[in-house]
Amino acid sequence: MSGPLKGLRVLDMTRILAGPTCTQLLGDLGADVIKIERPGEGDDTRRWGPPYVRNADGSDSDASAYFLSSNRNKRSLSIDMAHPEGQALIRRLAESADFAVENFKVGGLSKFGLDYFGLKQVKPDLIYCSVTGFGQDGPYAPRAGYDYLAQGMGGMMSLTGEPDGKPMKIGVGIADVMCGMYATVALLAALHHRDKTGRGQYIDLALLDTQVAWLVNEGLNYLTSGEVPHRRGTEHANIVPYNVLPTADGHLILAVGNDRQFQRFCEFAGAPELAADPRFLTNSLRVANRKALYEILPRLTARKTLDDWVEGLAQIGVPSGPVNTLDRVFADPQILHRGMKIELPYPGSEKGSVSLIGNPIKFSETPVDYRRPPPHVGQHSDEVLSEVLGLDAAEIARLRDEGVV
């Protein structure tokens, strides 16, 4: 184990996507993540398929692609939280943990004594993070929250889609993922505070809050002007030209960030007069006259192939790129060079391994370490109970016979 968080332990009581995104990232950074799962069933997303990993005999395993996306570098311990002995085991695990992360409904763990206040009794300096839809307080706190709701209620769907179409969600659970990212940042900040003071603390994160936080420029466009932004399709609110345009054989993303880039683009496109047009001299003028410019540009970009545009514009420093389907993404030489597609051994599966998406963080001294593929339910129960809690084989067998683990 070589990551910067080597030596830290995470008590992971999360499922679905937001919490597991956080704990997978902590695991990638070297922490020992112990994932608590319901005996037999495990994380809900294990059944969110197809597709599933295929077993050697061709049958579906207990690992959906969805589950694989956010659960590597974890050890799975199956425990029945509703059983008093199961609760006692989790409290004992908390004694050795630095972080506890959970995403149950508000108050969902307090009845088991596994909320912050319960676990703080056994581990006073524990850093405990709760991820919920709407936070621990406020009028919506009791409601169940999902990524889709956060995207809609937090304004993102009002900004996504074609101007004359219906509101659209983003193609992945981005509110969940970003909430998991914020949770990771918060935990590491709290760790720094604990290192200085010796005190743990409670972290309250909500999908809706984090969704609003990353409205960024569009949120500030509204707060600054008082004007409600509307859907612009693939256009940008504040930069023109910044859009998807047709080519002779595909679609080009053109992302002109300043006036010099616009001049170079016009020269390469064989239309230098556009850069001198009084309507398009500056970005502010291009934003004001976007409709007129976007009526002209498709006729120009359709004259060349996608590769001609991407290669030619790269040579003159004008940002552009293709709209790739995922087969092209994971065959792209830059993506492969950067290690964004990885393979981990997966004994018992049809091909003996699983393909996963790599971690984008590149450390010079403490590289990300891919130690464990996503686990099967309870795969590491005996290991964790023996290694961490010191239980012998007879005691583990008794717990299993009684349905505790």
Mean pLDDT value of segment 255-260: 96
Catalytic residue check, 382: no
pLDDT tens figures, 342-399: 999 999 999 999 999 999 999 999 999 999 999 999 999 999 999 999 999 999 999 9
Which of 253, 252, 126, 238 is closest to 193 using CA atoms?
A: 126
- What are the CA-CA distances from residue 79 to residues 142, 203, 310, 384, 403 (Å)? 26, 24, 53, 12, 8
pLDDT tens figures, 4-26: 999 999 999 999 999 999 999 99
- In three-state form (DSSP H/G/I as H, E/B as E, the rest C), the secondary structure along 313-353 is HHHCCCCEEECCCHHHHCCCHHHHHCCCEEEEECCCECCCE
pLDDT, mean over the chain: 97
- In CATH, the architecture of 9-214+336-402 is 3-Layer(aba) Sandwich (3.40)
Which residue among 176, 209, 307, 332 is the active-site one?
176
Residues paired with 11 in a beta bridge: 34, 100
Strand order in the sheet with 201-206: 74-78, 32-37, 9-13, 99-102, 127-132, 201-206
CATH number of 242-327: 3.30.1540.10
Residue 1 has pLDDT above 60, yes or no: no
DSSP state of 55: B
Q: What is the tally of helices (H) and strands (E) in the chain?
A: 17, 13
Q: To which residue do tokens 């996507």 refer?
A: 17
pLDDT tens figures, 138-164: 999 999 999 999 999 999 999 999 999
Mean pLDDT value of segment 307-324: 97
Domain boundaries, the chain: 9-214+336-402, 242-327
